[in-house]
Amino acid sequence: MADRIKVYEEKTRKGVPVWAWLLPLLLLALLALLFLRHRPAAPATDAAVPATATAATGLPSLGAVHFETDQATLTPDDQATLDRAAEAMKGNPNVRLRLEGYTDSTGSDTHNLSLSQQRALAVGTYLKGKGVDTSHLSGEGFGPANPADTNSTAAGKADNRRVELYTQP
């Protein structure tokens, strides 16, 4: 009986088989390949450029258009800014403008998402009315995401109620 135990112990002491080392390495390599293949690469030419850095396009520095609480109506100051942008856009037919609407944190997420979309649409509609080709406009509302300032002060909330304008070549 002692001979059988000794033979069994010798067979099990040989160490870890090679496949037990290679299998985890192979799985890690497959996961890394899967991650790298499905990760979208942002092309450099399609990246949005903030309108404040638009010297090459000839467009005025716009930044953002701001709104009153729970409103999607443009103020006279905002209309004047958009008038200048419309004139510059008509003179630059290859430039596209992306409109991104935002809200402060007041209200429900559903309401804010809808309001931010209405704000982007209001800016797009105004620019269209000034003769800007709608095929050069794109936009989306993001609700309270990506605040420009804190939502704990009135001034911060006012900064967050905006539509940002980005030029795209």
For 134-169, write each residue's pLDDT tens digit.
999 999 999 999 898 888 999 999 999 999 888 876
- pLDDT tens-place string over residues 27-36: 888 777 776 6
Domain residue ranges in the chain: 2-38, 46-168
- pLDDT tens-place string over residues 74-101: 989 899 889 888 887 888 888 888 899 9
pLDDT at 68 over 60: yes
Q: Which residue has the higher pLDDT, 48 or 3?
A: 3
pTM of the model: 0.65
Strand 49-50 versus strand 162-168 pairing type: antiparallel
- Characterize 103-119 residue by residue with b for buried, 16 or more Cβ atoms within 10 angstroms of its Cβ, and e for exposed: bbeebeeeebbbbbbbb
Do 85 and 77 form a contact (C-beta atoms < 8 A)? no
Can you identify the CATH homologous superfamily of domain 46-168?
Answer: OmpA-like domain (3.30.1330.60)
Closest CA to 112 of 125, 101, 123, 124: 101
